[in-house]
Chains A and B, each alone.
Chain A
Amino acid sequence: MDEVIRVEGLTKNFGQLQVLRGIDCSVSSSEVVCVIGPSGSGKSTFLRCLNGLEEASGGRVLVHGVSVHDNSTDVDALRSEIGMVFQRFNLFPHMTVLDNITLAPTKVRGVPLEQAREQARALLIKVGLLDKIETYPNQLSGGQQQRVAIARALAMQPAIMLFDEPTSALDPEMVGEVLSVMQTLAEEGMTMMVVSHEMGFARRVANRVLFMDEGVLVEEGTPEEIFDRPREERTRRFLSNIL
């Protein structure tokens, strides 16, 4: 299978604090990988290292064979291939939903505005928010904002989508609408890496689950292996705490 991301011995320190202590893994095309683990286990930092939002302290991250943290790498070009969805949505509040979505395609890719708008409409239909096209983000609910954020990332037609706890900042009744958009994406064959506390989603949608604790990748396997027959004691303890 075509490998999208390869991580080799990735470490990350914040001063004295070791957040990542040598992570190795890879993600293949069309794979959905969920990263679970207790808070402070380094999941988000790990994800943010993948598109260079965080500098790595050691090891390397290859996206389509290109090293993310190399000085000579055009990190902007690389990031345009990697969609990212944040916990706090981070929509641009001074732009309409439409402009949020068309900004990157027109400025980074040079897509003609009309074409970018056409694509934005298609994406908004997909996330069920076409009627909000001229709205400003602050007039939307959290769930709606997150769906727009997903559409915004998709507009760059990325090779992989990274989700950093996409439902953690949402009211419970809005979690479902975001997860169902993500599930549709997965079913369409999008390569995805999801940091999440939504175990139901991981079990239903993921091809593979990674369990992280204290900056280490403790265990990985299919959802059945991780949730039903965890090999490691730490995984068992974590799962019994949350389920």
Chain B
Amino acid sequence: MEPILWFGWFRADIIAEYGVMFWRGLQMTILVTVICIAQGTALGLAIGLARLAEARHSPARQICRYLLRWPSTVYVSFFRGTPLFVQILLIHFAVLPLFINPADGLLISGETARSLKQNYGAFISGILALTLNSGAYISEIFRAGIQSIDRGQIEASRSLGLSFARTMYHVVLPQAFRRMLPPLGNNAIALLKDSSLISAIGLAELAYTARTVAGAYSRYWEPYLSISLMYWTLTLGLAWAVKRLEARYGRGDTR
């Protein structure tokens, strides 16, 4: 292919040649981000509630402490206290083979395990690591959000006869969610950028594509500048979406 030069030095033909690969990488990055935001939020809510679980009477009191609060606290501490990169490697090379292994997988073994690992190994590990990691961060956002709601709100709701669960669902979480949107948005943006780390275990997303292209041509500006612009566009889009949500859920707080 004839080199196409932009501004005298930028080889646009390389990007054009790998256009399809960049497009697939972009799709993969978006897919991973969306899945991990959804799962991480669900997990974060569950862990956040577990960290707040309290009961007055035994045995519920002991269950809350030893089966909910302690494990969730350790979980959050571990995933926030170790590098995401290490978590990805640990899950991909150590944890996943334990469960999905042709020889003796605890979950899946035999031929299914072989093909699953070959085709989707990096995808599964990457999603798992990123979900577990963001779940830990998001649980702290939920916890802080829920704790920031005035006790009087809970008392008013409970004294109307609403159960704890209904109070959470109708009164506390909608108000907490509004306050949690900015930190949740930051977390989503961080997650989008961190998804690039999964390229280390061979998942063909944006960063992986750039590395491949760079390796093929020994050109670095073109691929890395291109994906930088793509990441930047995506994060700007996310930030805009969060702003829209904030406006939508801001009803009632004219203060």
Contacts and interface: CB of A to CB of B under 8 A. Distances in A.
Contacts of A76: 158, 161-163
Nearest to A53: B155
Nearest to B57: A71
Interface stretch (A34-42, A77-85, A173-181, A182-190): A77-85
Interface in A76-103: 76-77, 79-84, 86, 88, 90-96, 103
Given A93-B253, A94-B251, A94-B252, A156 B153 contact: no
Contacts of A81: 161
B105 to A, nearest CB: 46
Given A71-B57, A79-B158, A94 B178 contact: yes
A10 interface: no
Contacts of A92: 153, 156-157, 171, 175
B104 to A, nearest CB: 48
B78 to A, nearest CB: 35
B218 interface: no
A107 to B, nearest CB: 6
Given A94-B174, A137-B252, A139-B254, A86 B158 contact: no
A107 B162 contact: yes
Interface residues of B, number: 25
B160 A138 contact: no
A51 interface: yes
B63 to A, nearest CB: 15
B243 interface: no
A113 interface: no
A152 interface: yes
B152 A90 contact: yes
A82 B159 CA distance: 7
A125 interface: no
B120 to A, nearest CB: 41
B171 A136 contact: no
A149 B160 CA distance: 11
Contact count band on A: 20 to 34
A146 to B, nearest CB: 12
Contacts of B153: 90, 92
A48 to B, nearest CB: 8
A84 B160 CA distance: 8
Interface in B191-236: none
Interface in A39-54: 51, 53
B244 interface: no
A82 B251 CA distance: 30
B170 to A, nearest CB: 6
Contact of A53 (B159, B178, B251, B253): B159
B251 A104 contact: no
B160 A104 contact: yes
A136 B254 contact: yes
Contacts of B162: 76, 103-104, 107-108
Contact of B254 (A83, A138, A152): A138
B80 interface: no
A66 B57 CA distance: 19
A171 B249 CA distance: 30
Contacts of A79: 158-161
A86 B156 CA distance: 8
B161 A138 contact: no
Contacts of B158: 53, 76, 79
A107 B166 contact: yes
A165 to B, nearest CB: 13
A153 interface: yes
Interface in A121-141: 136-139
B125 to A, nearest CB: 40
Contact of A103 (B56, B152, B160, B253): B160
Interface in B137-165: 150, 152-153, 155-163
Interface of A: 51, 53, 55, 71, 76-77, 79-84, 86, 88, 90-96, 103-104, 107-108, 136-139, 149, 152-153, 156
The 4 closest A-B pairs by CB, nearest first: A80-B161, A90-B156, A136-B252, A104-B160
11 contacts: A53-B155, A53-B158, A79-B161, A82-B159, A86-B152, A92-B175, A93-B175, A94-B178, A94-B251, A138-B253, A139-B254
